[in-house]
Amino acid sequence: MATAPLLAEARELELAEPLALDCGQRLQGVRIAFETYGRLDADNANTILIFHATTGDQHVASINPRTGKPGWWDRMVGPGKPIDTDRFFVLCANVLGGCMGSTGPSSLAADGAPYAMRFPVITIRDMVRAQVALLDSLGIERLHAAAGGSMGGMQALSLAANWPDRVERVLAIAATATMGAQNIAFQEVGRQAIMADPNWQGGHYYGTGKAPDAGLAVARMAAHITYLSEASLTEKFGRRLQDRTQKSFGFDADFQVESYLRHQGLSFISRFDANSYLYITRAMSYFDLAEEHGGRLAEAFAATTARFCVVSFDSDWLYPTEVSRRLVHGLNAAGAPVSFVELSAPFGHDSFLLEVPALDRVVRGFLDQ
Amino acid sequence: MATAPLLAEARELELAEPLALDCGQRLQGVRIAFETYGRLDADNANTILIFHATTGDQHVASINPRTGKPGWWDRMVGPGKPIDTDRFFVLCANVLGGCMGSTGPSSLAADGAPYAMRFPVITIRDMVRAQVALLDSLGIERLHAAAGGSMGGMQALSLAANWPDRVERVLAIAATATMGAQNIAFQEVGRQAIMADPNWQGGHYYGTGKAPDAGLAVARMAAHITYLSEASLTEKFGRRLQDRTQKSFGFDADFQVESYLRHQGLSFISRFDANSYLYITRAMSYFDLAEEHGGRLAEAFAATTARFCVVSFDSDWLYPTEVSRRLVHGLNAAGAPVSFVELSAPFGHDSFLLEVPALDRVVRGFLDQ
């Protein structure tokens, strides 16, 4: 069977109403950059909203214009794929606070200068709020499903908790309902790396010709280690040397894993804005669905009628199965229908992005229910 | 029983002979700063050499002059303590490459200027080589025991492997015989954080009034997370806020764990030299006892007659029990007498420094054998 090229429609929308944020501020003129795949059906009932992870974007299954690479969930989204664009109308928007077209710290404020650190501190719920406004604009009342991995999964959970009528199925992969202390710590290290870079200039680096690239690269390198399992690093690199047969007795990237990490840092700075990284990781560290709902996670899901599918990976040490289990307990306590599976996959947290055929089956099966 | 104050003798020695390093260079005028506790017995047979960890020093059980705090293993070393200074002559030296008195990158080279990055890249074996030269100078032919945690344990193993006649008992706690890819990656992030700091100036920051403090603090923060278990961070800090009842919707240290990490970074820069951090972590990433001995770990221990005690902690994810087990397999294959215990302790890798009474019993028992 010949595969037709997947047509992504890149769109942008400016919200007519100001967006009321958790911090108390109202943000005017919020723009949301998003992509759509497939067609909305006559009943307006076949939309799947995909939320992206921390450093993802709306290019879920189209060529990313900044990197020239396929979309980050290209293997999952498309005609005949688990999230089947022949059947579903798929939406994916860049998060509020991002740097791929949606309003964020690099966007221009009313005075014509970039917000920089004048951008309000946002929450995961604010990100979802912007996407609910997008659904309103598109006339989509109720989603067939909301789905995401990592921070994407947190947004899907926040949608179910705070807009319970808007979604029928929630797929949360390698996610958590409450950001834990170790993750808050790693997020803080990333921000400190950026803010320690003199080129950060208090966030006012736009247009100066200098950006905190070195700090952002270090932040990315540290984070990247947490996305992979120890076993996958060992399998992929071990102690193998990079383009040499002997150690250099110097500080070049002697080991392949060092070279790989440096590459990860360098390629990241070419596609991501440092201030966006600050705001998005801040939103993550603030995330606690229980706290938002009187300290009881079950309370967060009291009003939802959605079915849930929670997936964890046995090699994920950043959002280990234990935190998915706690989420499931909260859902159980709320009486929500939930299926929970821990998949065996070697890649660590990034397993949700990589070739894990069992995940494909889980996703396809859940969306068909 | 009244406890007599523990008398540490702070000493310094300059090696008469140049030190031949693994990189091929010979280092002239190596100075070693060390401390001694207790008295050498008439048979010259009661010395215990303690090796310190990455950022430790010779102040194993004396007040650290830079911090004013008790020595890093004060709870383990002293009269009547597991490493009993009433019975043993205890030695602890600052490592080669360090910054607490032993020759390192901040020391003056022959031309009167600090070595900075002209300092040769050293290995764990070079560190041990310097300490063997110290033993030679002191006329100590054979140690009752060599002991250390983390990088200290690696040095103890290197001593047994490369100078098999010099030691009767080897105690390696939370250590490894081969640095793994994930640890190499974390070490690289630390170095990149330092070298990304413009104040690093290619290592020539001595006397400029500017040092890469920001980069070194970030390196320390990232490393510090790896020293603790997720559970201990949750227990100690969880999501508790620091001196406030509400999130600030800003980038201050809202969470206690953020404040704690920043404090760890700041207090570290007041006592440690950034270039030493580069060299010492480089030595760690190069460490592979098997590779040094034809690729077979058993070969490394072929000539030793020492007994070994290997200790791991169940909450240590940096040097998990699995790597200790691999070390024990190597020792077994070499026919070396070894006792191996995984202790249950909540603190992660840092358990070897903290209150783990079971460790005290293991150490005391092993040294008495």
d(CA B283, CA B273): 16
- Kindly report the number of other CB atoms within 10 A of residue B16's CB atom: 10
Q: pLDDT tens, A183-228?
A: 999 999 999 999 999 999 999 999 999 999 999 999 999 999 999 9
Please report residues of B whose CB lies closer than 8 A to that of A278.
Answer: 251
Confidence (pLDDT) at A111: 97
Please report residues of B whose CB lies closer than 8 A to that of A237.
Answer: 181
Does pLDDT of A249 surpass 70?
A: yes
- CA distance to partner chain B, nearest, from residue A120 (Å): 8
Of the residues B257, B259, B289, the best mutation for testing chain A's interface (the one with the most A CB atoms within 10 Å of its CB) is B257
Q: pLDDT tens, B84-138?
A: 999 999 999 999 999 999 999 999 999 999 999 999 999 999 999 999 999 999 9
Q: Could you tell me the CA-to-CA distances from B294 to A242, B93, B178, B303 in Å, in that order?
A: 20, 30, 13, 14
- As a whole number, mean pLDDT of residues B241-252 equals 96
Please report residues of B whose CB lies closer than 8 A to that of A230.
Answer: 180-182
Beta strands in chain A (DSSP E): 8-14, 19-20, 26-27, 31-37, 47-51, 77-78, 83-84, 89-93, 145-149, 169-173, 307-313, 338-343
- As a whole number, mean pLDDT of residues B186-204 equals 98
d(CA B158, CA B301): 9
Confidence (pLDDT) at B2: 43
- The DSSP code sequence of A77-145 is EETTSSEETTT-EEEEEPPTT-SSSSS-TTSB-TTSSB-GGGSPP--HHHHHHHHHHHHHHHT--SBSE
Contact A23, A12 (CB under 8 A): no
Contact A184 B255 (CB under 8 A): yes
Confidence (pLDDT) at B7: 75
Quickly tell me which residue has 């002697």 as its tokens. Answer: A254
What residue of B is the nearest CA neighbor of A288?
B239
The pair of structure tokens assigned to B317 is: 């994810």
Residue A7 — very low, low, confident or very high, per pLDDT cuts 50/70/90? confident
Confidence (pLDDT) at B369: 82
Please report residues of B whose CB lies closer than 8 A to that of A119.
Answer: none
Please state, rounded to an integer, the average pLDDT across all residues of chain A. 96
- CA distance to partner chain A, nearest, from residue B259 (Å): 9
Please report residues of A whose CB lies closer than 8 A to that of B250.
Answer: 121
Give, rounded to a whole angstrom, the gap between the first and last alpha carbons of chain B.
Answer: 26
User: Nearest-CA neighbor of A177 among A1, A52, A358, A325?
Assistant: A325
Confidence (pLDDT) at A2: 43
Give how far the C-alpha of residue B328 lies from the chain's centroid of Cα atoms, to the nearest Å.
Answer: 20
DSSP bridge partners of B169:
B307
Q: pLDDT tens, A127-164?
A: 999 999 999 999 999 999 999 999 999 999 999 999 99
- CA distance to partner chain B, nearest, from residue A156 (Å): 22
Confidence (pLDDT) at B4: 47
For A249, which DSSP code?
S
Contact B178 A239 (CB under 8 A): yes
- As a whole number, mean pLDDT of residues A33-39 equals 97
User: Nearest-CA neighbor of A349 among A182, A217, A214?
Assistant: A182
Confidence (pLDDT) at A70: 95
Could you give the 3-state DSSP secondary structure of residue A14? strand
From the list A180, A228, A278, the residue facing B230 with the nearest CB is A180
Q: How many residues does chain A have?
A: 369
Catalytic residue among A62, A106, A107, A150: A150
Does pLDDT of B150 surpass 90?
A: yes
Give how far the C-alpha of residue B57 lies from the chain's centroid of Cα atoms, to the nearest Å.
Answer: 8
Does pLDDT of B40 surpass 50?
A: yes
- CA distance to partner chain B, nearest, from residue A90 (Å): 33
- As a whole number, mean pLDDT of residues A244-251 equals 96
What residue of A is the nearest CA neighbor of B22?
A249
What residue of A is the nearest CA neighbor of B319?
A230
Confidence (pLDDT) at B5: 47
Could you give the 3-state DSSP secondary structure of residue B125? helix
Delineate the domains of chain B, giving CATH numbers in brackets: 8-180+286-368 (3.40.50.1820), 184-280 (1.10.1740.110)
Please report residues of B whose CB lies closer than 8 A to that of A197.
Answer: 196, 214
d(CA A124, CA B181): 33
Give how far the C-alpha of residue B92 lies from the chain's centroid of Cα atoms, to the nearest Å.
Answer: 11
- Kindly report the number of other CB atoms within 10 A of residue A5's CB atom: 7
Decide: residue A368, CB within 10 A, 0-12 exposed, 13-18 middle, 19+ buried.
exposed
Q: pLDDT tens, A334-345?
A: 999 999 999 999
Does pLDDT of A360 surpass 60?
A: yes
- CA distance to partner chain A, nearest, from residue B37 (Å): 35
Please state, rounded to an integer, the average pLDDT across all residues of chain B. 96
Does pLDDT of B1 surpass 60?
A: no
Confidence (pLDDT) at A4: 47
What residue of B is the nearest CA neighbor of A281?
B251
Contact A257 B188 (CB under 8 A): yes
Of the residues A119, A189, A230, A292, the best mutation for testing chain B's interface (the one with the most B CB atoms within 10 Å of its CB) is A189
User: Nearest-CA neighbor of A253 among B56, B188, B313?
Assistant: B188
Please report residues of B whose CB lies closer than 8 A to that of A347.
Answer: none
Q: Could you tell me the CA-to-CA distances from A193 to A223, A301, B228 in Å, in that order?
A: 11, 36, 20
User: Nearest-CA neighbor of A134 among A95, A98, A161, A173?
Assistant: A95
The model's pTM is 0.96
Sign of CA dihedral A155, A161, A164, A168: positive
From the list B120, B225, B291, the residue facing A182 with the nearest CB is B225
Q: pLDDT tens, A82-103?
A: 999 999 999 999 999 999 999 9
Residues of B recognised as catalytic: 150, 316, 349
Size of interface A-B (CB pairs under 8 A): 158
* ipTM score of complex: 0.95
Residue A6 — very low, low, confident or very high, per pLDDT cuts 50/70/90? low
Confidence (pLDDT) at B6: 60
Q: pLDDT tens, B3-34?
A: 444 678 999 999 999 999 999 999 999 999 99
Decide: residue B272, CB within 10 A, 0-12 exposed, 13-18 middle, 19+ buried.
buried
Contact B176, B319 (CB under 8 A): yes
Angle at B271 between CA B266 and CA B274, to 5 degrees: 85
